[in-house]
Structures are given as C-alpha cells and as structure tokens.
C-alpha cells in the first residue's frame, strides 16, 4: 500500500500538533482524522477502518497513570490487533516508548519532528504492513517451488497439497526411497494452520522397542537403567503442532499397538508414571512400503491405517516425471557449482539424453549424487554423457529397456510412444501433451507404427 491509499487516525491532546499533522497529511493520504480525547478511540476504531494510528504518550485524561500512552496502546490492541500504532513521544519518554514497542507499537516519533521524517516513517510502516504478507505468500509459494517439477503428475500433486495442508487431516505419504517424502511433509506443515507451532520429525523405523517408547512417549527419572532425568517425548514435544513419523511401515506390531492407543486417546503416558498427558498433534507419516503390503494385517494393523491415513499422497518416482529430470539436474548443478567453486557448467545434449533414458532406482537422491560427482570431477564448462556416472549399486538393479537396446529410429519412436501411452493408462490427450504432439499427430503415428 502506498501513502495515498492510507487512512490515518491521530490522537493527541495538543490541538496545535493535530492542526499541523492534518495540514501536512491532507494532500498526502486518502483520509486523516484527528482526535484530542483518547476516550473516543474505541468508537472511532469501530466505525472506521484505519491503517495507522498515531497515538500520543501523555494525556490530561481520566487515566492518570503516568503511562497513558501504554495504557491506551494496550486497549487499542485488545480491540484491534491489526492496526499499526505509532507512538508520539517527547525526549523524556524514550524509555516508555521502548516499552510500547514491546507491547505491540510498530514505531515511535519524537516531538518536535521534521515533516520529511514523519512522511518517511508513515511510508515505512505501510511497507512493514504489507511485507509480512508478501513474505508469507512468498514463503508458501517457495514451499511448493522448492519441490521442483513442471510435469503434469507433479502439478496434480501440488494441487492436492494445497487442498490438504490447511486442514488438520492426518496424512500418509507413500513413495519409493529418494522421491522426497520429507519435503512433502515439510510443505504440508509450512502451508498448514499449525506452521507457527512445533514440527517434530522422528524416524520410527530405526527405533527398537525400548527406544520407541522412550523417544515417543518420554520417561521419568529412574524408569529404566539409563533414565537419569525426566525426559519429554517426541509426541508431547509436538503438541499443538505437527508430528512427522518417517518409515512408519517398518515398525513392529507391538509398536503399532502402542501408537494406536495414543492416537485413539489423544494422550501419552511417560515411562515410569501412570499419569496421562493430553496431546494435540497433526500426524504426518511416510513409508516406502507399497500400500498393498501395508494392507496385509500380518504386517500392519488395519485400525492403525485408518487412523494415520485420513488422506493419502503418493509421490511419483523420478522415472515417471519426464522433463523434470533436466530441471532437477540444472538445479543441482547450480548448487554444486557454488559449493565447489566451479564456473557455470552446462549440460550437453549427450548428457541430457543419458539423464532422460536412465531408470533412477534411487530417484531424486540418486540424480543429486550423480550431478555432485560430475561437478567435482568436471574440468570444463560442459558436462558430457561420460561425465555422469550413476551409482554402481543402483545400476545393477536397473532393468534394461528397449530404449537402451536399439538405435533404430522407428523402433525408438514406437517404443517411446508405447511407454508414454502406458504411463498415462491409455489417455491419448495426456500422452500427446508429454510427447509434444497434437492428438491428431499422435493418432497418425499410432497408425504409422501399427500401435
């Protein structure tokens, strides 16, 4: 908001001050209202919408506390905590003005002031009003854009995130190792109504039965041999906020039963005590175990699945994300150019082709490590196919595809079209879009290759 759009209220018992301010601001702001009696503040604020209140520190009023400005500031903030308040003070009131800043005032002006100083202060306050909103909007947008992806499958995921995040629904995130499930969990938290509260992450798959209870529920001193002091558990620490339990699919049936009890009763009992502690958490869980395996009651309790799976999100593997591979590769190039003090490095066409035809059993994490190695070993400004080396462990797991066993152009085209159509479950419109073709052009190729 600029100054000419602002509505200003000035409250001061010095009529000369009010006259001077009104004369200065009448051509600079949208509206200026002046008042000598702070007793009328509530009425004025309820009947008008002001962007800034300029409030004197001292009045000949009925309050007579010696801290009138502080008193009226508190009153104003209790009625309307959105309005920006600038305190007007004399040199002797500086300490009191600082107290007002702690109570919610946004700035203060010392009398007598220069007109340019007053105008600059008003402009800065209006900027402070809008900047947090812009920063928050930017932060929310950044939350999504940090998960890089322009592919249709990722855009669908982003839309789902934006719908789910503001709710309190428990979320189960499914996906292979390395797909970025932790980034998805962080994005849900950052876009949620609990973003100002704790975000606690725990890898439950790595906890033994004893550690599981101690870490999640907490314990009292002497509850077991190494319990030398009282300790709060992860669930209790997350109360009011979000608890992210990674690798939920790897916990034992015994651990599942204990977790289910907590979720049902919404309270935890620390080891070594019988006193339950109420907790209020939003639960996000993640696993690389396929949902079909989770549904096997010999491995995972069905009643627990219902508790953790109000909404399910599946993070796609990198091999299904098309040109996102190149976007991510360039992103990692920029990171490691700076980290290893290299100049700007480009991807050659041969490098792009190699990146696009690899199967990525290790997903985004594997791509990241491959680019990091390539940057470390690079000697020029261009990465070639031979510069990009994937993990030998992962390569042994990579199935050979027809794209890698033929160099005949017609075979390559036929195989590519078949794979893309299969990927989109026969949806011609989506397949054509990914291939960069019109529907009619794709149909002509289907006839040409007898697909």
Torsion angle of the four alpha carbons 74, 80, 83, 89, in this order, in degrees rounded to the nearest 10: -20
In a domain, 335, yes or no: yes
Distance CA 390, CA 320 (A): 18
Last residue of a domain, one of 314, 334, 353: 314
* Two tokens, residue 139: 């932060």
pLDDT, position 138: 42
pLDDT, position 16: 81
In a domain, 338, yes or no: yes
CATH for 105: 3.40.50.2300
Distance CA 409, CA 429 (A): 23
Helices (H), 52-208: 68-79, 94-102, 115-145, 152-164, 181-190
* Domain match, 97 and 187 both: no
In a domain, 140, yes or no: no
CATH for 435: 1.10.10
3 state DSSP class of 76: helix
* Domain match, 310 and 419 both: no
CATH for 383: 1.10.8.60
Last residue of a domain, one of 314, 339, 366: 314
**How far is CA 409 from each of CA 64, 196, 331, 414, 418, rounded to the nearest angstrom?**
91, 55, 31, 9, 14
pLDDT, position 365: 92
* Domain match, 162 and 310 both: yes
In a domain, 124, yes or no: yes
Give CA angle at 210 (207, 214), nearest 5°.
85
* Two tokens, residue 278: 């109420």
* Two tokens, residue 398: 């990579």
* Domain match, 191 and 303 both: yes
In a domain, 278, yes or no: yes
Report how many domains make up the chain. Answer: 4
* Domain match, 296 and 153 both: yes
Sign of the dihedral defined by the CA atoms of residues 92, 95, 98, 99, in that order: negative
In a domain, 141, yes or no: no
Distance CA 374, CA 358 (A): 16
Model-level pTM? 0.57
pLDDT, position 425: 61
Q: 167-171 long-range CB contacts below 8 Å, 24 or more apart?
A: 167/192, 167/311, 168/193, 168/194, 168/282, 169/282, 169/310, 169/311, 170/282, 170/283, 170/284, 170/285, 170/307, 170/308, 170/309, 170/310, 170/311, 171/283, 171/284, 171/285, 171/310, 171/311, 171/312, 171/313
pLDDT, position 402: 39
Distance of CA 154 to the CA centre of its chain: 16
Q: How are beta strands 218-219 and 231-232 bridged, if at all?
A: antiparallel
* Domain match, 168 and 302 both: yes
φ/ψ of residue 61, rounded to 5: -115, -175
* Domain match, 286 and 159 both: yes
Last residue of a domain, one of 135, 162, 194: 135
**If 0-12 CB within 10 Å is exposed, 13-18 middle and 19+ buried, where does residue 226 land?**
exposed
* Domain match, 23 and 70 both: yes
* Domain match, 57 and 22 both: yes
pLDDT by 10-residue block (mean), the chain, 451 residues: 86 86 87 91 87 86 65 86 84 64 79 81 79 44 63 92 93 94 93 90 84 86 77 89 93 92 93 91 94 86 92 94 94 90 91 93 93 91 92 52 53 78 72 79 74 73
* Domain match, 305 and 164 both: yes
pLDDT, position 243: 95
* Domain match, 374 and 421 both: no
pLDDT, position 399: 44
* Domain match, 155 and 282 both: yes
Q: Which domain holds residue 278?
A: 146-314
pLDDT, position 404: 46
Element (H, E) at 86: strand 84-89
104 CB neighbour count, 10 Å cutoff: 14
Selection from 90, 112, 86, 106 nearest residue 8 by Cα? 86
Length of the chain in terms of residues written: 451
Distance of CA 32 to the CA centre of its chain: 40
In a domain, 49, yes or no: yes
In a domain, 393, yes or no: yes
3 state DSSP class of 442: helix
């Amino acid at each position: 908001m600029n100054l000419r759009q602002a509505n200003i209220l000035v409250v001061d018992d010095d009529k000369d001050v009010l006259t001077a301010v009104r004369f200065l601001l009448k051509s600079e702001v949208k509206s200026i209202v002046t008042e000598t009696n702070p007793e009328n503040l509530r009425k004025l604020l309820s009947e008008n919408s002001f962007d800034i209140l300029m409030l004197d520190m001292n009045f000949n009023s009925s309050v007579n506390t010696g801290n009138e400005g502080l008193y009226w500031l508190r009153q104003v903030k209790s009625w309307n905590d959105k309005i920006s308040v600038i305190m007007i003070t004399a040199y002797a009131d500086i300490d009191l003005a600082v107290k007002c800043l702690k109570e919610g005032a946004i700035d203060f002006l010392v009398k007598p002031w220069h007109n340019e100083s007053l105008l600059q202060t008003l402009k800065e306050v209006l900027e402070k009003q809008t900047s947090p909103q812009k920063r928050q909007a930017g932060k929310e947008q950044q939350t999504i854009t940090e998960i890089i992806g322009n592919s249709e499958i990722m855009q669908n995921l982003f839309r789902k995130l934006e719908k789910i995040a503001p709710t309190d629904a428990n979320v189960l995130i499914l996906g292979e190792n390395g797909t970025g499930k932790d980034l998805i969990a962080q994005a849900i938290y950052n876009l949620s109504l609990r973003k100002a509260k704790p975000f606690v992450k725990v890898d439950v798959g790595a906890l033994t039965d004893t550690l599981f209870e101690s870490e999640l529920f907490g314990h009292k001193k002497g509850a077991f041999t190494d319990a030398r002091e009282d300790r709060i558990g992860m669930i209790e620490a997350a109360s009011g906020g979000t608890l992210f339990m990674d690798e939920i699919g790897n916990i034992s049936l015994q651990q599942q039963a204990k977790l289910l009890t907590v979720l049902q009763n919404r309270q935890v009992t620390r080891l070594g005590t019988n006193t339950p502690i109420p907790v209020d958490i939003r639960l996000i869980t993640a696993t690389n175990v396929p949902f079909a395996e989770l549904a096997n009651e010999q491995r995972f309790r069905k009643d627990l699945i219902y508790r953790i799976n109000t909404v399910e999100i599946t993070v796609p593997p990198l091999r299904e994300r098309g040109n996102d591979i190149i976007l991510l590769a360039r992103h990692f190039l920029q990171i490691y150019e700076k980290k290893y003090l290299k100049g700007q490095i480009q991807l050659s066409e041969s490098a792009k082709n190699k990146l696009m035809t690899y199967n990525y059993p290790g997903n985004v994490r594997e791509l990241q490590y491959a680019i990091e190695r390539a940057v470390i070993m690079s000697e020029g400004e261009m990465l070639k196919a031979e510069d990009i080396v994937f993990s030998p462990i992962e390569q042994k797991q990579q199935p050979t595809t027809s794209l890698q066993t033929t160099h005949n152009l017609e075979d390559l085209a036929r195989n590519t079209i078949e794979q893309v159509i299969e990927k989109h479950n026969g949806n011609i419109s989506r397949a054509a879009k990914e291939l960069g073709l019109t529907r009619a052009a794709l149909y002509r190729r289907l006839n040409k290759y007898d697909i």
